[in-house]
């Protein structure tokens, strides 16, 4: 026996037995998941049998009932719905047209939480701002009584990083325009496609600001309007009758794979059940609930894990993360040790990142080994989670981000094109394999995954 082999043998003997025993099991589970059909069955069924699932509507309620039946049939335990109340927003009429010599219709979609222009259309001159910063810098007199148009443009990136910056035009632009006296606002869709499909998405209002009609233009229409504005002033007729309709019920669907060691804590995974109402919510986020459910099912079928794996299909993520907040409040007394979600479509996972307590960091090394055969590398950043699991993570719970490619995602995100045909079954399976490997490693890890003290973590 050479010195190198002897050292390797000694090192192997020094590993905790659960870590040693799972090396082959993780690989076998991962590779078997590359032939998975569970995720496709879930996403196909949800988008076909329920369709769009706008938060707090009858459609979302049907989706919760569908989820209970599906999760129960798959063999999960403690399957139940946890309801909560929230504001209900409904879409109404949404039209826009150029008036005058260049009269033509424009394609728009009201933004979530948009106010109304009233029972009749508003007609006003356009106040054009290439960026949100230009609108911020504009005096109120340049905006008052006009229809604001903000045309900032994002481009595709693998990590989707431009969404945060350019998306501010949607999230806060309408509130800013209203505070300066605009009668309505149109933004260039926060998207990267060139189909005539506007991208909806939530916008937010300050308590002292009355909501105005707010909508997104499809990218071709936004560029058309920008070209017209280069030729001179433009007057539009816009009607948006969307608005808040009081309070209604939403809810989370919860299901467990019970662990053998209750003291080892809960691993929380999932995605959001609701969707915007333009498409059928395939990539956003039927794919996410399907991927995480299929992976948890595979671990369950392989034998009882050490830690409980909890799958949550969160409600009402799109209008403001109501489901994640409700879950964290309802389960505050339970010991969660990890929380992660899938909410970025169904294209390949290309990297992973972690944020773990010091004593649990060897888990990340084992994850790197398990995920490498799938073409997934270890990122250099720190995992942050997402909207649904954020409230749990903020209590000091560890997180692992499984980053999917975003190169196509914002072509379809929040549009009528978010439909089942946009999902590549092979890439969906790669996601399931990645999540299966991650759960196989973390659910059986011998390390204590304790809370992350403030200031600690990767």
- pLDDT digits 0-9 by tens, 93-105: 999 999 999 999 9
Q: Where is the domain boundary, 241, 261, 276?
A: 241
Interval 308-337 mean pLDDT: 98
CATH number at residue 181: 3.50.30.30
CATH number at residue 384: 3.40.630.10
Please tell me the predicted confidence (pLDDT) of residue 407: 98
Q: Does residue 267 contact residue 442 with C-beta atoms inside 8 Å?
A: yes
Q: Where is the domain boundary, 221, 241, 261?
A: 241
Please tell me the predicted confidence (pLDDT) of residue 16: 40
**Sheet of strand 77-90, all strands in order from the earlier edge strand to the far edge:** 77-90, 243-257, 308-314, 266-272, 336-341
Q: Does residue 138 contact residue 177 with C-beta atoms inside 8 Å?
A: no
Instruction: Answer yes or no: do 307 and 415 share one domain.
Output: yes
DSSP labels, 32-79: HHTT--HHHHHHHHHHHHT----TTSHHHHHHHHHHHHHHHHTT-EEE
Residue 1 lies in a domain: no
Instruction: Answer yes or no: do 230 and 288 share one domain.
Output: no
Residue 76 lies in a domain: yes
Instruction: Answer yes or no: do 339 and 283 share one domain.
Output: yes
Total length of the chain: 458
Instruction: Answer yes or no: do 169 and 196 share one domain.
Output: yes
Instruction: Answer yes or no: do 356 and 252 share one domain.
Output: yes
Instruction: Answer yes or no: do 188 and 261 share one domain.
Output: no
Interval 419-448 mean pLDDT: 98
- pLDDT digits 0-9 by tens, 344-381: 999 999 999 999 999 999 999 999 999 999 999 999 99
Instruction: Annotate 286-323 with b (16+ C-beta within 10 A) or e (fewer).
Output: bbbbbbbbbbbbbbbeeeebbbbbbbbbbbbbbbbbbb
- State which H helix or E strand residue 295 sits in: helix 287-302
The answer to whether the pTM exceeds 0.75 is yes
Q: What's the farthest any 2 CA atoms get from each other in the chain? A: 89
Please tell me the predicted confidence (pLDDT) of residue 455: 63
Instruction: Answer yes or no: do 232 and 273 share one domain.
Output: no
Q: Does residue 229 contact residue 76 with C-beta atoms inside 8 Å?
A: no
Please tell me the predicted confidence (pLDDT) of residue 430: 98
How far apart CA 345 and CA 331 sit, in angstroms, is 27
Tell me the pLDDT band of 457, cut-offs 50, 70 and 90. Answer: low
How far apart CA 199 and CA 218 sit, in angstroms, is 7
Domain with 270, as residue range(s), is 18-87+247-443
- pLDDT digits 0-9 by tens, 104-158: 999 999 999 999 999 999 999 999 999 999 999 999 999 999 999 999 999 999 9
Residue 434 lies in a domain: yes
User: Does the pLDDT of residue 24 top 60, yes or no?
Assistant: no
Task: Please state the domain count of the chain.
Answer: 2
Q: Where is the domain boundary, 241, 261, 282?
A: 241
Q: If you average pLDDT over every residue of the chain, what do you get?
A: 94
């Amino acid at each position: 026996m050479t010195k190198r082999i002897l050292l390797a043998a000694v090192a192997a003997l020094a590993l905790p037995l659960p870590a040693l025993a799972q090396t082959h099991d993780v690989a076998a589970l991962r590779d078997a998941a590359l032939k998975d059909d569970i995720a496709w069955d879930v996403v196909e069924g949800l988008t076909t049998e329920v369709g769009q699932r706008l938060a707090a509507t009858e459609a979302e309620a049907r989706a919760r009932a569908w989820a209970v039946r599906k999760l129960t049939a798959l063999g999960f335990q403690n399957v139940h719905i946890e309801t909560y109340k929230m504001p209900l927003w409904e879409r109404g009429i949404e039209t826009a047209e150029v008036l005058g010599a260049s009269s033509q219709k424009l394609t728009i979609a009201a933004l979530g939480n948009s106010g109304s222009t009233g029972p009749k259309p508003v007609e006003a001159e356009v106040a054009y701002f290439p960026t949100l910063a230009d609108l911020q810098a504009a005096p109120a007199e340049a905006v008052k009584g006009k229809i604001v148009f903000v045309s900032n443009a994002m481009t595709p990136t693998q990590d989707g990083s431009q969404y945060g910056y350019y998306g501010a035009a949607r999230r806060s632009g309408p509130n800013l325009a209203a505070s300066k006296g605009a009668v309505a606002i149109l933004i260039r869709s926060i998207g990267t496609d060139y189909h005539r499909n506007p991208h909806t998405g939530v916008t937010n209002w300050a308590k002292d600001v009355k909501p105005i009609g707010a909508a997104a233009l499809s990218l071709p229409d936004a560029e058309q309007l920008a070209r017209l504005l280069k030729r001179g002033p433009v007057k539009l007729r816009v009607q948006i009758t969307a608005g808040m309709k009081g309070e209604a019920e939403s809810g989370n669907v919860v299901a467990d794979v019970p662990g053998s060691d209750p003291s080892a804590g809960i691993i929380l995974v999932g995605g959001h059940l609701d969707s915007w109402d333009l498409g059928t919510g395939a990539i956003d986020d039927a794919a996410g609930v399907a991927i995480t459910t299929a992976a948890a099912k595979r671990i369950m079928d392989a034998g009882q894990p050490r830690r409980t794996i909890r799958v949550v299909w969160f409600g009402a993520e799109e209008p403001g993360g109501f489901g994640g907040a409700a879950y964290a409040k309802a389960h505050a007394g339970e010991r969660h040790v990890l929380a992660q979600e899938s909410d970025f479509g169904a294209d390949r996972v290309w990297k992973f990142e972690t944020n773990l307590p010091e004593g649990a960091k060897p888990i990340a090394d084992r994850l790197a080994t398990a995920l490498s055969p799938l073409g997934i590398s270890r990122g250099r950043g720190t995992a942050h989670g997402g909207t649904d699991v954020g409230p749990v993570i903020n209590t000091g719970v560890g997180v692992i981000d499984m980053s999917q490619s975003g190169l196509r995602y914002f072509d379809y995100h929040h549009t009528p094109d978010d439909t089942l045909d946009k999902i590549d079954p092979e890439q969906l399976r790669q996601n399931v394999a990645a999540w299966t490997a991650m759960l196989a490693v973390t659910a059986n890890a011998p390390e204590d995954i304790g809370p992350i003290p403030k200031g600690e973590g990767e």
